[in-house]
Structure 1
Amino acid sequence: MARYLITGVAGFIGSSLAHELLQQGHEVIGVDNLTAGDVHNLDGIIRDLDFRVMDVNETSRLRECCRGVDFVLHQAALASVPRSVRDPLSTHVANVDGTLSVLLAARDAGVSRVVYAASSSAYGNKSSQPKHEEMLPDPLSPYAAQKLAGEYYVRSFWHVYGLEGVCLRYFNVFGPRQSSDSPYSGVIAKFASEMLKGESPLIFGDGNQSRDFTSIDNVVSANLLACTTPAAEV
């Protein structure tokens, strides 16, 4: 069994990773400052989880959390395009400075690999389908630029320091524990919540719009495979 550190562990994706890893018998340390996360997402596992309320920019504390850790799953972020437009500075601190702090802590503690939650927003509004990694990035918001900067930091730390890293560009993730209350929630969570309350979901336009959605189960599987796949194949 391995030892994992999950940042943003009280969030939708972070908590889903924690539930799965603990079910598999792994040891999990989770950190979250609870700015965006919800501790209720950890119901049922909180006693089995080494949970620490802290910010990822507390590098010294994070370095101690990384001691003896095999893999870091970096999910912590302020994941909102509108919020990044409204407040680019604070989102930069969370998304860029926070990622650099995680990488420094992981490097200093001898972590084997960091898996980074990147974003499909890196592609911009390119019309060609399907999207693929060889496409040139075209970040069109502060959030997209911040998440893309994180990718470059992950890549540079592998090249310069030998800290292995994998970046996963998520596309509209949905599933259990996703909040429907936030104005930034995915449409599936909002529609499901409204229909469960007997309400009709509000659809803008003529209903012919389309988006790519990704099941949380696939995101969890991708993260775990990204940890264990040999580096030459990543």
Structure 2
Amino acid sequence: MLYFIRKRIEENEEKILSYRGAGFIGSNLIEKIISQGDEVVVVGRHLPAECKEDDNNLKDNITFYQADVTDYEFMEQLLIKEKFDYIVLLAAVISISGTIAEPLSTHFINQEAILYIYEIIRKNKLKVKKVLFTSSSAVYGNIADTPRREDMPVSLENPYAIDKFASERYAMFYEKVYGIPTVAVRFFNVYGPRQKAQGKSAGVCAIILDCLLNDKEFRLNGDGKQTRDYMYVTDAVDATLMLLKDPQK
């Protein structure tokens, strides 16, 4: 799990902390930030694979610190020292089957680490302009109605959805009670470049593309009439940055 920080080269510009940077969405967000001429600092267990390539622009624009996502002492020192203007909370174990197999250990990442960031801000009276928490359409469960809407009832059917929804509520609580400006968003099956085609967290679009490119058989379960809402990763990144910087949101 990674964090990354956006720093403007110019004086008097904002600093943004994004909680997790090696993931599919996080690495695309890093690339967008770098394209705007900003410096990125990554803290985590390892760099995104794209950052290790010698000819990749990401590598030359990232400063890396090795630490764990649940290293709360380190995170507190970092937030106090840097005094970030904006914070994006992306970190999560996104494999639903993984959270079912390990509900406690994944809870520490999917909820406790998120809550601790809010506590650092509250206890130290840090003046952030906004915190953005990224939730998931998983909170709706398997309800039949599509497309999904924000006013639909939730159906929390696994530890991943439970932690995401609880973190949403905590985010809103910290804004209402402690005055920490917050916005929560629910990503809907994001797909695009760098999405994994293998493993427990593989995305179906990435799997289908991998099968097409490598002449492999794709197995379809059910009758083929299933529907799902999807969001392209650049749209998710653009929406994240827009909501973060818009003072009216």
Same fold (TM over 0.5): yes
Deviation at 1:30, TM superposition (A): 2.9
Query: Against the structure 1 CA distance between its residues 113 and 39, is the aligned structure 2 distance closer, same or farther, given a 3 Å change threshold?
Result: same
In the TM superposition, 1:153-232 aligns within 5 A as 153-230=170-247
Q: Which amino acid aligns with 2:86?
A: F
Q: Does 1:105 align with 2:120?
A: yes
Match of 1:89 among 88, 99, 104: 104
In 2, Cα distance between equivalents of 1:28 and 1:111? 18
User: Higher mean Cα deviation, 134-143 or 144-153?
Assistant: 134-143
* Helix, strand or coil at the partner of 1:5: strand
Does the CA contact (< 8 Å) of 1:72 and 1:106 recur in 2? Answer: no
In 1, Cα distance between equivalents of 2:145 and 2:226? 16
Query: Against the structure 1 CA distance between its residues 91 and 169, is the aligned structure 2 distance closer, same or farther, given a 3 Å change threshold?
Result: same
Unpaired stretches in structure 2, ≥5 consecutive residues:
1-12
Q: Which amino acid aligns with 1:214?
A: M
Q: TM-score, normalised by structure 2?
A: 0.85
Q: What residue in structure 2 maps to residue 4 of structure 1?
A: 16
Query: Against the structure 1 CA distance between its residues 102 and 51, is the aligned structure 2 distance closer, same or farther, given a 3 Å change threshold?
Result: farther
In the TM superposition, 1:32-111 aligns within 5 A as 32-34=44-46, 39-43=48-52, 44=56, 45-66=58-79, 67-107=82-122, 108=124, 109-111=126-128
Alignment deviations for residues 73-121 of structure 1 (CA, whole Å, 9 cap, x no partner):
1111111111111111111111111111222234434322111110111
Match of 1:21 among 13, 33, 41: 33
Give aligned-pair identity as a percent. Answer: 31
Report the count of equivalent residues: 229
* Helix, strand or coil at the partner of 2:59: coil
* Helix, strand or coil at the partner of 2:60: coil
Q: What residue in structure 1 maps to residue 4 of structure 2?
A: none
Deviation at 1:223, TM superposition (A): 0.6
Alignment deviations for residues 38-92 of structure 1 (CA, whole Å, 9 cap, x no partner):
6213343133123322223222211233323211111111111111111111111
Query: Against the structure 1 CA distance between its residues 87 and 64, is the aligned structure 2 distance closer, same or farther, given a 3 Å change threshold?
Result: same
* Helix, strand or coil at the partner of 1:46: helix
Q: Which amino acid aligns with 1:115?
A: L
Q: Which amino acid aligns with 1:10?
A: A
Unpaired stretches in structure 1, ≥5 consecutive residues:
none
Q: TM-score, normalised by structure 1?
A: 0.90
Deviation at 1:151, TM superposition (A): 0.6
Does the CA contact (< 8 Å) of 1:122 and 1:139 recur in 2? Answer: yes
In 1, Cα distance between equivalents of 2:209 and 2:29? 22
Does the CA contact (< 8 Å) of 1:81 and 1:143 recur in 2? Answer: yes
In 2, Cα distance between equivalents of 1:220 and 1:169? 13
- CA RMSD of superposed structures (Å): 1.8
Q: What residue in structure 2 maps to residue 30 of structure 1?
A: 42
